[in-house]
Structure 1
């Protein structure tokens, strides 16, 4: 099994990840009203820098974390384009953890577990505090902990690494370059 065995919904219907076969993928669960939302800009920058060499960034909006993406799919797409100039593929909104998680995210988290937050990030301690206080169950296991968890996939469809929200997208560039 690899990433190409999954699909996601788009405004035009279901899209197979097989369409991205042979590409390096950065799969990210996103949100429009999160402290990490400005990462859209760096994700777009990575996409523009490397798309001609085979990188695809795939955004999967999610409203599971403090309801930080309450809009419709159309509103989310418009927000991403207007505020961050996003041109990479943004899929439809869905769950990324728990019983109703999209199969893709169940598989991704089974391939690469939670390694901890980057403590040097200014929001890391705040995020950990919020999770401990309001969502302690999110800290258990390898499930997605918050918005903007990123998974790097090689050209064969295998999960190479997982980066938590506290890892800014630009810091992933050297890992992407190794795969291109």
Structure 2
């Protein structure tokens, strides 16, 4: 067997091993907000505790960005990641990505990962939100929060009414941090 053929086989085998190690929830990628770069969900979040939240720039819950950023800052040194996924599914997202980015980054100082706006509910939902819904339930409104353990399984989900600093959400985040991959 030639070196090239052997290298190809090793590459294919390694790739399938990586795919097998990546939980279904994290298989895929999303374009970063205000960037041409993409977030490889598996590469960025596999093995880490994660909070996923669908966001909207023009919602009454938009000030929760401040609490989500505080949550991220409080626990990021323990490995916590936060992923914000803007969506216009509930007709409250800005008309363009620049306005969305301004709300997130300028108005609220968000430093955690944010994607470009996505479809997060119904038949056209992106794979990430289809899997979140399969494990728990689909978001019923903006700022629905999912706490995911290091193994890629949802530990708990919280409605829009749950603020990022509420005891139940904090308890779930700490459980995710303590979880094993």
Fold shared by both chains (TM-score > 0.5)? yes
* RMSD (Å) for aligned C-alpha atoms: 1.3
Mapped to 2, the partners of 1:97 and 1:178 lie a distance apart of 27
Higher Cα Rg, which structure: 2
How far did 1:16 drift?
1.4
Match status 1:82 vs 2:106: yes
For 1:15-62, what per-residue CA distance to the aligned partner results, in whole angstroms no more than 9, with x for missing partners? 211121221100000001101111100000000000010001100000
How far off its partner does 1:158 sit? 1.1
Matching residue of 2:28: 6
Q: 1:56 matched to which residue of 2?
A: 81
Question: Normalized against structure 1, the TM-score is what?
Answer: 0.79
Is 1:47 the counterpart of 2:69? The answer is no
1:93-112 aligned within 5 A? 93-112=117-136
> Cα deviation per residue 1:127-162 (whole Å; 9 max; x = unaligned)?
xxxxxxxxxxxxxxxx32110011111111111111
Unaligned 5+ residue runs, structure 1? 114-142
SS in 1 for 2:74: helix
Higher RCO structure (Cα 8 Å, ≥6 apart): 1
CA contact (8 A) 1:25 1:56 kept: yes
How many residue pairs align between the two structures? 150
Q: How far did 1:83 drift? A: 1.1
Partner of 1:32: 57
Q: Which runs of 5+ in 2 are unaligned?
A: 1-22
Q: How far apart are the structure 1 equivalents of 2:164 and 2:56? A: 15
1:69 partnered with 2:64? no
- Contact 1:2–1:158 under 8 Å retained in 2: no
